[in-house]
Structure 1
Amino acid sequence: MKFNIPSFLALALFYLVTFHAIASVDTVTTFSAAMQKEIKAVVITPKEYSQDKDYPVVYLLHGYSGNYKNWIEKVPQLESYADQYGLIIVTPDGNFGSWYWDSPEVADSKYETYVGKELVEFIDNEYSTIPSREGRAITGLSMGGHGALYLAFRHQDTYGSAGSLSGGVDIGPFPENWEMKKYLGIKAENPERWEEYSVMYQSNRLLPNKLALIISCGTADFFYNVNVKLHEKLAYNNIPHTFMTGPGGHTWEYWADAVQYQLLFFHNYFEAGK
């Protein structure tokens, strides 16, 4: 049988697009009324995405000095995970080092309001989502791991599940690092504020089984000790959670591996709520 090469290639391309479509990766621009500026985010929708179905959403936060593109550039497998689990993944911009706080020192840094309220409202309005806490999860790496738990603990009516990957979950031991004093003031002058804005302190808001929690950190990570401390505090307070640890440092290699287990955890949470 003789093939016309251009026709054969066209047929092959049609087959690939029709039967092997993958997730859609889009960049959206949102407007924060709280900060009076436009902010970008990546939105990954599964290949089966349809307006006739409602999908759960996972918000995935970047770390210090990162941006909204980091996750999809470093972990392109997120596309296949969105397909596999039938969910939407959103990776917002958290500025260079906002720590996802509404800063008491920097008036135009209100990333708790943006990620915890404005962005959620935008995604629910623009996409076919499950618009309730039962259909939302949030996690992130490093600064974003802190941000994810901080937001989830403070907005338990918004998120039903939350995680952290190598999160800076206790900021107290790091008063000179990552520009935190720019957003909170000097720790020695604002000790109560530094407690209040830390995940470790915010964990006191939790009630047993209110949030489905998963915390991951490598044993070679400089945040490992504070993650162990949070795990022990949650256990002492009878807060159920999954704590995953193993070899690994503060690296994309570790996060690329660990995030797949967190997405499975969120998928199981979403499925249990159906």
Structure 2
Amino acid sequence: MKKTLKAAITLPKNYSNSESRFPVLYLLHGGSGAFSDWHEKVTEENLVSKMADQYQVIIVTPGVGPASYYYDSPKMDSVKYETYLIKELIPFIDSNYKTLAKKESRAVTGLSMGGHGAILLSAKYPELFVAAGSMSGVMNIDTRMWKVQDDFRNLRAEGQKQMLGQELNYEAPNFNPYTAVGWVKQMKENGLALII
């Protein structure tokens, strides 16, 4: 994408002194959010650090575009967040940190747009994740179904047209790869542990 993206990597307190390798949780932010939301906008101070210690897990909170829904746009080279996470970030984390670099030790979850990303990515890449979760996730990016203010719906719909094409048709089969609900059949076949 020719851009610099930020991610926070939270390690258990005993990481430096441990010979152990650790499982990894990818924790995705919501729309109009940032990688730092999980550290700054939570109800309990240092929640991510506490969870990393309690569960002995590395927690990665990547940042992506404000309304990107964690897919690769077929129209915009600047919106390739699926590729970023799957082909760049996960290999980078596994190469530079003491991870258990295998499916059985890697999970993904997220809030709202991040919940969509977690379910979408786990459905598309079942070889990478053992489990996925969605917290208040957008499971269908068809904005016609959203119970939101019209100005917000129109804003997101216009953004999707830019990313997916002006001829965007939510009912066409070629829309399915970009929305989590388009992967339900594959989710059933994958057999990953899911929580919504």
Distance in 2 between the 1:98 and 1:188 partners?
18
Q: Which residue of 2 aligns with 1:58?
A: 25
Contact 1:184 1:193 in 2 (8 A): no
Alignment RMSD: 1.9
Amino acid at match of 2:2: Q
Distance in 1 between the 2:131 and 2:23 partners?
11
SS, match of residue 118 in structure 2: helix
Distance in 1 between the 2:66 and 2:188 partners?
32
Is residue 200 from structure 1 mapped to residue 181 from structure 2 by the alignment? yes
Give runs of aligned pairs for residues 1-274 of structure 1, distance below 5 A. 35-50=1-16, 52-75=19-42, 76-172=46-142, 173-174=145-146, 176-178=154-156, 179-186=159-166, 187-188=168-169, 191-207=172-188, 210-215=191-196
Aligned residues with identical type, % of pairs: 43
Q: CA deviation at 1:117?
A: 2.2
Contact 1:140 1:167 in 2 (8 A): yes
Long gaps (5+) in structure 1: 1-34, 216-274
SS, match of residue 52 in structure 1: coil
When structure 1 is superposed on structure 2, of 201-210 and 108-117 the one drifting more is 201-210
Contact 1:153 1:202 in 2 (8 A): yes
When structure 1 is superposed on structure 2, of 101-110 and 118-127 the one drifting more is 101-110
Distance in 1 between the 2:119 and 2:105 partners?
17
Distance in 1 between the 2:188 and 2:169 partners?
31
| Structure with more contact order per residue of length (Cα contacts < 8 Å, sep ≥ 6) | 2
Distance in 2 between the 1:90 and 1:74 partners?
16
- TM-score, with structure 2 as normaliser: 0.85
Deviations 1:58-107 (A, max 9, x none): 00011111111111111231111111110010000112221111101212
Deviations 1:128-161 (A, max 9, x none): 0000111100011111110111001001111111
Amino acid at match of 1:43: I
- TM-score, with structure 1 as normaliser: 0.62
Distance 1:107 1:206, change over 3 A: same
Q: Which has the larger radius of gyration?
A: 1
Paired residues in the alignment total 181
Deviations 1:20-39 (A, max 9, x none): xxxxxxxxxxxxxxx23221
SS, match of residue 39 in structure 1: coil
Q: CA deviation at 1:180?
A: 2.1
Distance 1:94 1:180, change over 3 A: same
Distance in 2 between the 1:189 and 1:107 partners?
22
Distance in 2 between the 1:208 and 1:193 partners?
20
